[in-house]
Structure 1
Amino acid sequence: MTTETKQKPKTAAAKAARAKPTRREQLAKLLSRKSGASIAQIQKTFGWQPHSARAAISALRKAGTEIERSDTDKGSVYRIAGEG
């Protein structure tokens, strides 16, 4: 006797797993807004400490995304350069 196991195709499983955007994709979307995002906004959105938010921005930079920083009364605001 053989037992058949029904397996979903790997492509369907991969699509289901990718339904939710990654943190990197969510951060990129936040930074691509016209107003950009401050460290405080990133902290509130993801529940991160300030050093974790800055590290995530640094990781995007290392991946080739050009990010600009501007100083405001409320602190530094980060945005993806060249968009918006």
Structure 2
Amino acid sequence: MTTRNAVAQSSARTTKFGKKLTRHKQLHRMLTRKSGVTIAQLQKTFGWQAHTARAAISAQRKAGCVVDRLETDKGSVYRIVEAQSTQ
């Protein structure tokens, strides 16, 4: 289901060279922010259900990223603290 708001947001998610970011890259950027990201923010941004957002975070872990979870009054905040380097 695509809404006008989602279409407007997706067109705004481009790099300075006009290349569209994938959801995987958008998620990685959100997780590497200093403030991290909540499940509710992922749901709003991507239109995902809570279990889908948690599965996407799990996929980042499987890809070698160390994801930290901090419990706050607004819910769990997830943040990548270390990414495994590829050699």
Cα distance in structure 2, aligned partners of 1:31 and 1:63: 14
1:51-74 superposed Cα distances (whole Å, 9 cap, x missing partner) = 000000000100001110000001
Which residue is 2:66 aligned to? 66
Match of 1:50 in 2: 50
SS in 2 for 1:81: strand
Query: Aligned residues, how many?
Result: 66
RMSD: 1.6
Q: Which residue of 2 aligns with 1:37?
A: 37
Q: Give % identity.
A: 64
In the superposition, relative to structure 1, how do residues 82 and 59 fare at CA in structure 2: closer, same or farther (>3 Å)?
closer
CA–CA distance in structure 1, aligned partners of residues 43 and 71 of structure 2: 18
Residue aligned with 1:71, SS: strand
Q: Which residue type is aligned with residue 60 of structure 2?
A: L
Runs of 4+ in 1 over 6 A off after TM superposition: none
Conservation of the 8 A alpha-carbon contact between 2:71 and 2:77: yes
Larger-Rg structure:
1
What's the offset of the Cα at 1:27? 0.2
* Runs of 5+ consecutive residues of structure 2 not aligned to the other structure: 1-17
In structure 1, list runs of 5 or more residues that go unmatched: 1-17
* Structure with more relative contact order (C-alpha pairs < 8 Å, separation 6 or more): 1
More strand by share: 2
